[in-house]
Amino acid sequence: MSEESQVRAFYAGKNFFITGGTGFVGLCLIEKILRCIPDSGKIYLLMRPKKGKEISERLQEFPKNPVFEKLLESKSTDIFQKLVPIAGDVGEDGLGLSPQDRQTLVENVEVVIHSAATLDFQESLRPTVKINLLGTRRVMELCKEAKKLKVMIHVSSGYVNSFLTEAHEKVYEAPEDAEKVISLVDTLSDDALLEIEKKLLKSHPNTYTFTKHLAEHEVVKCSDHFPCTIVRPTMIVASWKEPVPGWTCSKVGPQGFLMGAAKGVVRRLPLAEKNVADYIPVDVVVNELLVAGWEAAKTKSGLSVYHCSSSTCRPFKWSVLGNTVNEMLHKHPLKSAVWYPHLSFVPSLLMFRISAIFVHFFPAILLDMMLRLSGKRPILFRLHKNVWNSLNRLERFIFSEWKFYNPNTLELAKKLNDADKNLFYIDISTLQWLDYFQTLHLGVRRYLNHEKESTLPAARKKDMVLLMFHVIWQLFVLGISWQIFAWTTGLTLAQSAWIAPIIYVLFTYL
């Protein structure tokens, strides 16, 4: 007789309350519960109207989301009746809940998963305090009222401790008094807040990591009342195995620049190839949330902390990929590509900025002009300008290396029986990064660039045409540069022929 899943048995019949359910992690989490824990109770989703759509309308769109394709191969859309939309917002007092909805949650919820947050590294202090810090406090207040609560699962981030180069699975001392920070946000103007922001953040690189760090202490305060667990993912990337390999809806990190690289508009990427980059697939994150909740619920109170990370157990370095990135781009090109794809890594922001002028901004001006002539909205120059402006804030994350030790996670993986090791896998020891990035590229092609496999023949033909134009463009630039050099030095083209290979070599380094 085969072993039964202990994790699934725990969640059977349990009612969930999930914040951030429409985000990258949230959607994957909901899909996992519906597909792998079909006998769970109701899943209450905190949602707010968006783009003129009421929450009921937003919920009706769920079955159309590609993340649920695997689920709907074996289930009918009736499975979505488990999802119950609750109008609210973590950024509002009392989570913006009506008295009736709050009472429904208090009476019925047994598992709380708090995933909602503002992830913008460039956001100012006021909205991040309102959502990340106070939002967590409001969720914890609801948890204290919940009559049947079995466990509270808080989605944090490995980078809450990015002021350290090596971090462990514990809650570090708060960087500032939360009440002081809240008081400043309540009383100071935006300009005054901006003026003191750097001093307030201390060694934190941005308001996101600062407020998420403070939010962890809101969880700590409640850990004597009911079991709590904090899971800290690092950089979350496309799925490894489930619901389908490569699924993503996030344009953050590798997914975003591979999306642009496949189009041919992102041609240079600043990064330290020799540094360990801590990436973790979204399906592993979702599994760890559920497994950590199962383990925490074995006690009546207390706090456990887990790093959902790869840097110390399955490290990845971009140097591993080498030229594989460009091979991937041309093995599975895009029909919608606008320029011949070629991605190169540059080791500093200065080199990136210099090269971006030639390989990003000049082509962007040309391509935007063509878009205007065809009656379409120009977007490329603005896109590259936004990237340019954000680089100073991102530099620390681009060129720093962190080690997030995860012995608690490794130990947790050992506690799973064979059924759960397959169903709720959190062990990434068998993850092969080279194979994974090929899968990620295919996922980006399908889910972000919205191109099906059937478009490949046409895409490969276009790739050859773009290569021809790329060669012609390079020869044109080389010729113009050669002529300019000859004109400024007073030499003939024949006399200055030696400069042509030098220009070409220099251009390849840009």
- Measured in degrees and rounded to the nearest 5, phi and psi for residue 322 equal 55, -130
Residues 510, 507: Cα–Cα separation, whole Å: 5
pLDDT digits (tens, 9 = 90+) for 160-180: 999 999 999 999 999 999 999
Report whether pLDDT(477) > 90: no
Q: Are 285 and 236 in contact (CB under 8 A)?
A: yes
What CATH number does residue 184 fall under? Answer: 3.40.50.720
Residues 353 and 388 in one domain: yes
Report whether pLDDT(1) > 50: no
Give 422's pLDDT tier (boundaries 50, 70, 90). Answer: very high
Residues 310 and 324 in one domain: no
User: Which residue from 435, 434, 455 is spatially nearest to 445, judged by alpha carbons?
Assistant: 455
What is the H or E stretch that residue 86 is in? strand 83-87
Residues 77 and 175 in one domain: yes
Angle formed at CA 377 by CA 351 and CA 121, multiple of 5 degrees: 45
Residue 439 placed within a domain: no
Residues 414 and 368 in one domain: no
Residues 284 and 347 in one domain: no
Mean pLDDT of 268-282: 94
User: Which residue from 311, 315, 298, 288 is spatially nearest to 421, judged by alpha carbons?
Assistant: 288
Residue 265 placed within a domain: no
Please list the residues that pair with 85 across neighbouring strands: 45
Residue 108 placed within a domain: yes
Q: Are 15 and 41 in contact (CB under 8 A)?
A: yes
Report whether pLDDT(504) > 80: no
Please report the pLDDT score of residue 2 as a whole number: 62
Report whether pLDDT(506) > 80: no
Residues 365, 424: Cα–Cα separation, whole Å: 48
User: Which residue from 248, 230, 272, 233 is spatially nearest to 66, judged by alpha carbons?
Assistant: 248
Residue ending a domain, choose from 385, 412, 427: 427
pLDDT digits (tens, 9 = 90+) for 78-130: 999 999 999 999 999 999 999 999 999 999 999 999 999 998 878 899 999 99
CB atoms within 10 A of CB 316: 22
Residue 276 class from Cβ within 10 Å (0-12 exposed, 13-18 middle, 19+ buried)?
A: middle
* First vs last C-alpha separation in the chain: 63
Residues 129 and 165 in one domain: yes
Cis before 243 (ω within 30)? yes
Residue 440 placed within a domain: no
Q: Which two tokens stand for residue 251?
A: 């344009």
Residues 96 and 19 in one domain: yes
What is the H or E stretch that residue 355 is in? helix 349-356
Residues 10 and 135 in one domain: yes
User: Which residue from 63, 7, 17, 62 is spatially nearest to 37, judged by alpha carbons?
Assistant: 7
Number of structural domains (the chain) is 2
- 362 or 261: which carries more pLDDT confidence? 261
Residues 138, 149: Cα–Cα separation, whole Å: 15
Residues 171 and 244 in one domain: yes
User: Which residue from 463, 267, 269, 265 is spatially nearest to 365, judged by alpha carbons?
Assistant: 265
Residues 90 and 155 in one domain: yes
Indicate the SS3 state at residue 119.
coil
Work out the angle between the directed axes of helices 362-373 and 380-399 (0-180°, nearest 10). 150
Residue 178 placed within a domain: yes
User: Which residue from 134, 297, 288, 117 is spatially nearest to 217, judged by alpha carbons?
Assistant: 134
Structural domain span for residue 234: 6-253+276-317+401-427
Query: 29 CB contacts (<8 Å, ≥6 apart)?
Result: 18, 21, 113, 115, 286, 289, 290
Residues 217 and 352 in one domain: no
pTM score, two decimals? 0.93
